[in-house]
Amino acid sequence: MFIPFGPEKGTEKELTYGCRCEDIELAKNVLKRRKELERKRIYQIFDRESLLNQDLLESSFDSYVPRTESQKSAYKQVREFCDTYSKDKPRNLLLTGSYGLGKSHLSSAALKVLIESGYTSIFISVPKLLTKLKATYNKHSEFSEDNYLELLEKADCVVLDDVGAEHGRDPSSWATSKLFEIIDSRIGKHTIYTTNLGGKALQDKVGARNFSRMMQKTKVIAISGPDHRLSHFSQEKGSGVHE
């Protein structure tokens, strides 16, 4: 470019437009570092706020041992949920069945896979969550209710475990209203629900409005079989010495 005036009048300069190579590289490094920090934050949230017991903390797809055809089918469907996960195509799962069939195990295993893939995910036991939310009304609480609700709203995937365990039939109750607020905030994102209740019983517990929201883009996975947590008890009882 010819310089028509100024101290360098009469000379030509080559101008560089856009970012320099070193600036581009710096930007890439900053983004990489930001992703690493976000990944650490995800694990911290999972460890501290997921309210998982020790068994679930150690659960994985590899450690899940299906004993019935429905458990094998559940394993396959939850695994497929992870393998085909896309933020642009939100969908939900509802795992139903009695106690000790691996609903929470599979859900926790799914979140671990998603977290390892870089997605923000969190596991919350609904009864414990409601207790936590009530505790925030104490002025000395470390967290506010909004802290928890924002965490649930923004996560890429959330497991709401044991839905219906602490809800009355009154649609105007605090628990029912708060559950609706949480479920409604998850519209457009992936959510996994687990419950020990059947369809009618669950609807009666959480209310028609909550149940309707839960069923949007939701695949129901019914699991049946014996309670695996009682298998060791049965074996020990069978091998005992009778007087």
Convert the pLDDT of each residue in 71-108 to its tens digit: 999 999 999 999 999 999 999 999 999 988 999 999 99
pLDDT at residue 9 in the model? 58
Mean per-residue pLDDT, 160-182 = 82
Per-residue pLDDT, 215: 95
The residue whose two tokens read 């008890």 is 233
Pick from 106, 128, 33: which is nearest to 114 by CA? 106
Residue 225: its pLDDT value, please? 86
More confident residue, 168 or 207: 207
Task: Give 38's contacts (C-beta < 8 A, 6+ positions apart).
Answer: 120
Q: Which is more confidently placed, 132 or 49?
A: 132
Model pTM? 0.75
Return the bridge partners of 192, or none.
93, 159
**The pLDDT value given to residue 39:** 59
Give the C-alpha separation, 73 to 70, whole Å: 5
Q: What are phi and psi of 151, to 5 degrees?
A: -60, -45
127 contact partners, CB below 8 Å, separation of at least 6: 162, 165, 166
Q: Which DSSP letter does residue 241 get? A: P
pLDDT exceeds cutoff 50 at 238: no
User: What's the pLDDT score for residue 236?
Assistant: 46
DSSP 176: H
| Separation between Cα atoms, residue 66 and residue 109, nearest integer Å | 14
pLDDT above 70 covers a percentage of the chain that reads 74
If you average pLDDT over residues 186-206, what whole number do you get? 93
Antiparallel, parallel or unpaired: β 157-161 and 121-125: parallel
How many residues does the structure list for the chain? 243
**Higher pLDDT pick, 118 / 169:** 118
Identify which of 38-47, 161-170, 206-215 has the greatest average pLDDT: 206-215
Distance CA 183, CA 61 (A): 26
Spell out the domains of the chain, with CATH numbers in brackets.
68-225 (3.40.50.300)
CB-CB contact of 71 with 225 (8 Å)? yes
Lowest mean pLDDT among 22-36, 129-143, 150-164, 182-196: 22-36
Amino acid 220: pLDDT: 97
User: Is residue 18's pLDDT more than 50?
Assistant: yes
Q: Is the pLDDT of residue 49 over 60?
A: no
